[in-house]
Amino acid sequence: MQELKNAIRERGKVLSNDVLKVDTFLNHQIDTELMALVGKEFAARFKNDGITKVLTIESSGIAPSFMAATELQAPLIFARKKKSLTLTDNLLVSTVYSFTKQESNDISVSKDFIQGGDRVLIIDDFLANGQAAFGLIEIVEQAGASVAGIGIVIEKSFQEGRKNLDDAGYRVESLARLHDLNEGKITFVDELVSSHS
């Protein structure tokens, strides 16, 4: 998605060979016009898949999934990372390990919001090792619902997540795929393919 790639190039900051900072439009300040385009692109890619629910994880997944859910006319549910005062039982729970933070966290969704028969589109901001995506998949499957696909805003193709999701047979639609961030430079997967062809 060209507008997104432009934003990554012009407003992203490479912090290391592994980490891209995009808090001017995605992770802290949110560019609402860009997020609307992102949501529309997800919706276009999944419009024929009978999506009944969109599922994301707080906090940075919420903005890009909001417009997708609006366009698909489906409710948006976000998995919680912290226990809620009012949400204490009747929960679907899975454990997500973050390699970046080296800690495990339980994520949860009320059983009231995903049920057998639902076709769920999972959306998240980053795909790194895929732990968050697999945690969300586990929640959908615990509910007896099916995963229609996984929509990712920025995929770091040099980490394991994409390969592991492909190997497990899930459809992944990433709007920008980073081949690498080496030497402070952003290289997208599709540019690399075209520059060699």
Residue 105, annotated ligand binder? no
Q: Using CB under 6 A, count the residues that bind ligand G4P.
A: 21
DSSP 114-138: --TT-EEEEEEEEESSSHHHHHHHH
Closer Cβ to ligand G4P, 19 or 44, answer by number: 19
The two tokens of residue 41 are 């692109």
Q: Within a 13 Å sphere around the CA of 175, how many CA atoms are in the beta-carbon half?
A: 31
Distances in whole angstroms, Cα of residue 105 to Cα of each of 83, 93, 99, 134, 140: 11, 10, 12, 13, 17
Q: Which of 7, 22, 68, 74 binds ligand G4P (CB under 6 A)?
A: 22
Distances in whole angstroms, Cα of residue 42 to Cα of each of 25, 54, 95, 108, 122: 17, 11, 26, 24, 10
Find the shortest distance in angstroms from Cβ 111 to ligand G4P: 23
Closer Cβ to ligand G4P, 52 or 133, answer by number: 133
Residue 131, annotated ligand binder? yes
CA pair distance 109, 5, nearest whole angstrom: 32
Region 88-147 residues binding ligand G4P, contact defined as CB under 6 A: 98-100, 125-132
Residue 27, annotated ligand binder? yes
Residue 156, annotated ligand binder? yes
Closer Cβ to ligand G4P, 52 or 54, answer by number: 54
Region 49-88 residues binding ligand G4P, contact defined as CB under 6 A: 59-61
CA pair distance 153, 4, nearest whole angstrom: 8
Phi/psi region, residue 169 (left: phi>0; alpha: psi -120 to 50; beta: rest), is: left
Closer Cβ to ligand G4P, 52 or 60, answer by number: 60
Q: Which stretch binds ligand G4P (CB under 6 A): 2-10, 18-26, 31-39, 63-71?
A: 18-26
Find the shortest distance in angstroms from Cβ 127 to ligand G4P: 5
Annotated binding site for xanthine: 20, 27, 156
Annotated binding site: 20, 27, 128-132, 156
Q: Which residues bind ligand G4P (CB under 6 A)?
A: 19-22, 27, 59-61, 98-100, 125-132, 156, 161
